[in-house]
Amino acid sequence: MSPKPSLPGRTGGQILVDQLRLHGVDHVFCVPGESFLAVLDALHDSDIQVTICRQEGGAAMMAEAHGKLTGRPAACFVTRGPGATNATPAIHIAEHDSTPLLVFVGQIERKVRERGALQELDYRAVYGSITKWTTEIDDVTRIPEIVSRAMHTSMSGRPGPVVIALPEDMLVETAVVEDGAPVAAPEAYPGAEQIARLREMLGAAQRPLIVLGGSRWSGESVQALQEVVGSWQVPVTVSLRRQMLFPTDHPAFVGDLGFGPNPKLVEHVKAADLILLIGSRMSEVPSQGYQLLDIPVPKQKLVHVFPDAGELGRVYRPDLAIVATPSAFVRAIQSVELPASEVRQAYLAEARKDYLAWRDPGPVKTPGSLQMAEVMAYLGQQLPPDAILCNGAGNYATWIHRFHRFNRFGTQLAPTSGSMGYGVPAAVGAKRLLPDRTVVAFAGDGCFLMHGQEFATAVQYELPIIVIVVDNGMFGTIRMHQEREYPGRVSATQLKNPDFAAYARAFGGHGETVLRTEEFAPAFERARQSGKPAILHCVIDPEAISPATTLSAVRDAAIAAGR
């Protein structure tokens, strides 16, 4: 079906790849399909880096991780029907995490639509509720227009995913068309009056507190905020899995509002008289089940800064609503000075003290011979400050969130949507983009096997990521909830696991089993030295369900409570 030499112009596939190139989309993650051969053919002659993946879920998560790190979308190409539905978790992650992402889907030929043709799917109907825009390119001449709009849409306001279906016959048509031009995400700036009002409100507050979250941050804005907040002496907390937005070592950092936060932090948020939300939606997890701020009118004065007006007032009615990107907002507050206040200082000092006691509780001893607190302490010493830590969902992630000292932007890849299986593909995507950075993925035994096949992608592209599989022989999080709600009635949560170290070796990587704390450091060092993608299969005691409690204690408490 290649174009006849006598036909003028470019094929749809070529036009599309040329648009990606000019928009700076230099990474494509894909699982091939016969529905977009013309695109694959155009990629053959392009310098876009193509990563061939093993499953579309992994491919799309890699692209999503790329968007988290760069603020610009990578492209993911998947085939129609099952290829597209496999990519759904990453589209959902991008929607929840406000990440720019382009997912291109091969589509059936236009003339057979609505017959239930092979792998036919109505993308607008299926993805309409979890994308910023879902569309189909019917006319080859409109590719530049639609890709340009997709770029704008994915990056602007609150960023998110865009799905574009590509009818197979459209891709092989030829046309003479003008290219688009590179697009930048439009900034939204706060007005001078709003900054003046903010200064007034902060000055009048006794106990102001800042919550950071969302996207549209940058290394520079994260750095600049530290200076401003240092002089203000206002406590700063971060939303779930947004720990890279503020350094744990900064004297104003008071902890993160994730799953199972420091109870004292929760008290400090409740005691605040002004909350400044920057980029955060203060959604279900950071708001602790919508308990921290009253809906719709919080008791605390609320200043909400968000890059999209549609979010302001959606859940919480703000006293001051500012449509601005976090980056532009941080630039605008650099000149804001606050007079010193003893009450504010004391509030910060107390919150910081409580954070440090929570983060450094002294020896944390859990059942079993492999102590995750010691593993985290070792990694804290060994990893370079710009190492990227990735994880999916599961209780194993608690160890990272509670004990790892995130100190830089661009060091955390974790889904706020709580999507299992994200860690390994995110690590592959990150290492493909930033080959000089140390990239460590954490996964539970359940989480790992959701997208563990992408370890093959790491081997294929010689990406020496290190995967730490925390194996407790179960879907531990759900077992914990089960013991709390239905004590002793273990149902559908046990796992019989493979030898994950042998799995790594079978794929051509480095694999080791770690059963005892003292084995971890030398195993990690050997993994690093191997220069290969590596898996450290860390077998922990199933009782060690979290840093704070054991499985039996959860069960006993539930029984004592009459469950």
Ligand X SMILES: Cc1ncc(C[n+]2csc(CCOP(=O)(O)OP(=O)(O)O)c2C)c(N)n1
Nearer to ligand X, 46 or 88 (CB): 88
420 touches, from ligand X, Mg ion, none (C-beta below 5 to 8 Å by class): ligand X
15 touches, from Mg ion, ligand X, none (C-beta below 5 to 8 Å by class): none
447 touches, from ligand X, Mg ion, none (C-beta below 5 to 8 Å by class): ligand X
Nearer to Mg ion, 410 or 444 (CB): 444
Nearer to ligand X, 185 or 474 (CB): 474
Please give the DSSP secondary-structure letter assigned to residue 14. Answer: H
CA distance 461 to 53: 10
CA distance 347 to 488: 43
CA distance 329 to 334: 9
Nearer to ligand X, 153 or 419 (CB): 419
CB of 541 to Mg ion, least distance (A): 12
DSSP assignment of 286-352: TTTTTTSS-SSS-SSEEEEEES-GGGTTTSS--SEEEE--HHHHHHHTTT------HHHHHHHHHHH
CB of 201 to ligand X, least distance (A): 38
CB of 428 to ligand X, least distance (A): 18
CB of 165 to ligand X, least distance (A): 24
Residue closest to 271 by CA, chosen among 279, 263, 260: 263
Nearer to ligand X, 88 or 460 (CB): 88
CB of 469 to ligand X, least distance (A): 9
Residues near 120 by Cβ (< 8 Å), separated by ≥ 6? Answer: 80, 81, 108, 112, 113, 114
**Contact between 493 and 545 (Cβ < 8 Å):** no
Nearer to ligand X, 160 or 418 (CB): 418
- Between strands 388-391 and 439-444, the pairing is parallel
CB of 541 to ligand X, least distance (A): 12
511 touches, from Mg ion, ligand X, none (C-beta below 5 to 8 Å by class): none
CB of 392 to ligand X, least distance (A): 7
419 touches, from Mg ion, ligand X, none (C-beta below 5 to 8 Å by class): ligand X
For ligand X, the binding residues (CB under 6 A) are 393-396, 418-420, 444-447, 470, 472, 474-478
Say if residue 116 is exposed, middle or buried (CB neighbours under 10 Å; 0-12, 13-18, 19+).
exposed
Helix pair angle (263-271, 342-359), 10° resolution: 160
CB of 497 to ligand X, least distance (A): 9
Nearer to ligand X, 15 or 101 (CB): 101
- What residue is closest to Mg ion based on CB? 444
CB of 425 to ligand X, least distance (A): 13
Helix and strand tally (H, E) in the chain? 22, 20
DSSP assignment of 419-472: -TT-HHHHHHHHHHH-TTS-EEEEEEHHHHHHHGGGHHHHHHTT---EEEEEE-
CA distance 90 to 63: 9
**Contact between 327 and 218 (Cβ < 8 Å):** yes
CB of 416 to ligand X, least distance (A): 12
324 touches, from Mg ion, ligand X, none (C-beta below 5 to 8 Å by class): none
Report the SS3 class of residue 217: coil
Nearer to Mg ion, 354 or 445 (CB): 445
395 touches, from ligand X, Mg ion, none (C-beta below 5 to 8 Å by class): ligand X
CA distance 156 to 324: 11
C-alpha distances in angstroms, 51 versus 213, 425, 433?
Answer: 30, 11, 11
Nearer to ligand X, 30 or 447 (CB): 447
CA distance 455 to 508: 9
308 touches, from ligand X, Mg ion, none (C-beta below 5 to 8 Å by class): none
**Contact between 144 and 14 (Cβ < 8 Å):** no
Which residues within the stretch 424-483 sit at the binding site for Mg ion (CB under 5 A)? 444-446, 472, 476
Residue 392 as a binder of Mg ion (CB under 5 A): the answer is no
CA distance 549 to 544: 7
302 touches, from ligand X, Mg ion, none (C-beta below 5 to 8 Å by class): none
CB of 133 to ligand X, least distance (A): 25
CA 258, chain centre distance (Å): 14
- What residue is closest to ligand X based on CB? 444
Nearer to ligand X, 329 or 396 (CB): 396
DSSP-assigned beta bridge partners for residue 102:
75, 162
Nearer to Mg ion, 244 or 447 (CB): 447
Q: Give the interface with Mg ion as residue ranges (CB under 5 A).
A: 444-446, 472, 476
